[in-house]
Amino acid sequence: MGSVKDLEVITKPTKDKMGIGRFHFSDRYSVFDWGEMPDHILGKGAALCLMGAYCFEKLEKNNIKTHYRGLVSKDGKIVSFDELKEPTGIMEFNLVNVIKPKICRENEKLRYDYSFFNPKLKNYLIPLEIIYRNGLPEGSSIFKRLAQGKITFKDLGLDHYPKPGEKLSKPIFDVSTKLEERDRYVTWKEAKEIAGLTDREVEEMKMVLSKVNNIISDIASKAGLKNEDGKIELAFDPARRLMVVDVVGTLDECRFMYDGLHVSKEIAREFYRKTGWYRDVEEAKKKAEAQGISDWRKLCRSKPPPLDSRLKKIISDMYMAAANEMTNRNLFEVPSLSKVIENYRKYLVKTYD
């Protein structure tokens, strides 16, 4: 079980052969790496499943290899998005091996041993999250990293210190770890060493990321959404060919904007940033890093409160409305995305004015 979706293994992968798996998308959600939050968001799971399937099929039509096999309909058949008659939260895909790095402690610090990964390994999940940034909206992790001195604007290829809401003349490609207790941004040189990649494979990854970015941006634009940033995950198949895996193009994987407002998981993050629990989370993460403790959650002094009930309904409608309009099919009975955004704007005015 994951934070937001469950994995069903139909056939296990071997060293040289992919298996078959299914994602069962739930209405759970997670923010700040906490894991399952106290609420469920109605319709979220099916909406994510359908957005992801639609995007995968678009990638395949553009000759980008993915692990996607199809959607599982209510009668158990494997169907394409166009063949689907009603929403489903189950997606079938080709399954590769997931090899987690070994955790060690050195001088009271956690270290991860990636020595198993090398350029001859095949049929495995690349232990990285590959990120594109078309803009730097408020809430982007870039600003936190800049403020902490972990990166400079020159590291990002910029000639000035950016401001929230800034649009980029060309996308920034970023990379972080995927299988550590807490995601950690790394340089491309470090990413190459971590995942056992060649120089050619690193460039190929960036090329795939660029193509995915463009396709998702095009899909999003048809719903009036701007694709500010997003992430993809990649794997090598048994012939060590790159393929896009996990899920792409959803409100959880991407940060979309509509008329200046977030249309993504960022809405829940913004709500929780105003709580005492968020301050406890930040403090717990700092303590865990300083003390070399892998599970920072044990150090957190509080539990997350529930979402405001009005906001939870808006988020629910937003996921389903975005799925309808990004895929150009009305599979969910909800107001239009523009109407949901209008309701969200009214909520913000009433709550924070």
What's 37's DSSP letter?
-
Report the number of distinct structural domains present in the chain: 1
> Helices marked H in the chain — which ranges?
44-61, 141-147, 188-195, 199-221, 266-273, 276-291, 309-327, 337-352
The whole-number average pLDDT for the span 159-164 is: 91
* pLDDT > 70 in the chain, percent: 99
Asked whether residue 2 carries a pLDDT value surpassing 70, the answer given is: no
CA distance 204 to 156: 20
Q: Given this model, what pLDDT does residue 181 score?
A: 80
The boundaries of the domain holding residue 102 are 5-352
**CATH at 313:** 3.30.470.20
Q: Given this model, what pLDDT does residue 350 score?
A: 81
Asked whether residue 107 carries a pLDDT value surpassing 80, the answer given is: no
Residue 139's pLDDT band (cuts 50, 70, 90): confident
What is the bridge-based pairing of β-strands 242-245 and 128-136?
unpaired
What's the pTM value of the predicted model, to 2 decimals? 0.92
Average pLDDT score, the chain: 94
* pLDDT > 90 in the chain, percent: 84
Contact 288, 294 (CB under 8 A): yes
* Residues 290-342 pLDDT 10s: 888 878 999 999 999 999 999 999 999 999 999 999 999 999 999 999 999 99
